[in-house]
Structure 1
Amino acid sequence: MEKTTVSRDGTRIAYTRSGRGPTVVLVSGALSTGGTMAPLAAALADRFDVTVYDRRGRGESGDTAPYAVEREVEDLAALIDALGGEASLFGVSSGGALALRAAASGLPVRRVAVYEVPYAMDDATARAGAEYRERLTEALGQGRRGDAVELFLRLAGLGEEMIQGARRSPMWAGMESVAPSLAYDDAVMGDNRVPRSEIASIACPLLALAGGASDRWWHEAANAIADAAPDGSYRILEGQTHMVEPGVLAPVLTEFFTR
């Protein structure tokens, strides 16, 4: 059953809770809602009290201008408070960057795990991220939501044929509906580099994951995240890509969150 809580600035945050056990909150990435994390939540619900939520500007959650990354951290603070005052976090992709920021901010986070946070590991990738930010700001400022989605898919490595196929698919309308939140994910990523000093302030255990079938730079980024944390660990999930399978991921998270 969907529930709601209210963030510090009055924004309504919608969430769904399932299972029993220690509290775990799943944080989705770009162009996604809490429903995107539902298969993983189902795989964890036999051991945990699992919550998925719509980040602000998506799904059933509200939005309040002006946006700031701190507001999304406050959203998680309100959510954790509503769930009992303490939780472990798992974030995927840019949702992992938000989970790291929340843990670094001093929220009552027991453990934090992230999967393939897209931090740049070389200057060329960082420059590509800066160019994307400029073009995304222009597209959204002109109301060109479809073009904004295309920019993101291109940055994510999709070819033109796949992008045009996505435009013709039934999913496109849903992606366009949350396109303004692409700017939020971009803001969460900061300067696109691993925020080592911020991660160094995370007091709880941290697990950084990457897929064995993903490009090597994903592995390098996960390793750098773990290396920056006082109590960090790093693991590769063999055979997995950025679209990690819940059945492979869930046992790894279960072991980490119950360690």
Structure 2
Amino acid sequence: MSDDVYLRYVALGDSQTEGLGDGDDIRGLRGWADRLAEQLAVRNPGLRYANLAVRGRVAAEVHGEQLGPALALRPDLATVVAGVNDLLRRRFDADEVGGHLEAMFGALTAQGARVATVTFPDIARITPIARPISSRVIALNQRIRAAAGRHGVAVAETSHYPVVTDPRLWTLDRLHASPLGHQRIAAAVAHALQLPGSDDSWTHPLPPPEATPTGWHSAAVELRWIANFLGPWLARRLRGRSSGDGRTAKRPHLLPMTGVLVDNPERD
């Protein structure tokens, strides 16, 4: 286990790190990075935490908009998770995306921060219609691993385990983790960092579902997903819009953790 004591944690990224799927914009978003900060604060009560992530951002935007502010906060721990929005764009260049991620890894580690990131699951195993981008996921994960290796970045290999594509770990839009999914991502990153008390239990499968959907039910679910999520997403793309337009980071400053929650969504 790691003996590092982290007191300044900064999270960079997009909607997953912002916490979409875990809470809402009215009550507030929690998300895996908040959950990781909560875990760190239990051991290190002096922890201060900033979350610079903004939904809809591609890797170039995370690099251009968030790296400078992150460096100014001088974190001793940083997480960098970006690239999913790039995967979904019509034009995708794995080398370009990997280059932005590596630039962030390099700058943060050069300043002395411990950095962690994640690899991504095959989206086609969550949404069959996304099968054409499976090769993109593989290519991006290869770049992430290589860049992380060059800079001593801890990698939570979420792409390796079948449980990460269990529908119960995802919201109805299939792009954002559910509260249980965010809990598993937080546990995966804690394990990659070798935090005290972390283990590989996040890789374990969930209990079998109580009922298996029939063919007709599955078809109806797919149609509702296309109407309620894919259609609006495509409409935004055609208009050149993003879900993050006009939004800023939810927690741009290093602040103490208050109201730390220690829960287990798997028992809810």
TM-score, length of structure 1 as denominator length: 0.39
Structure with more contact order per residue of length (Cα contacts < 8 Å, sep ≥ 6)? 2
| Structure richer in helix, relative to its length | 2
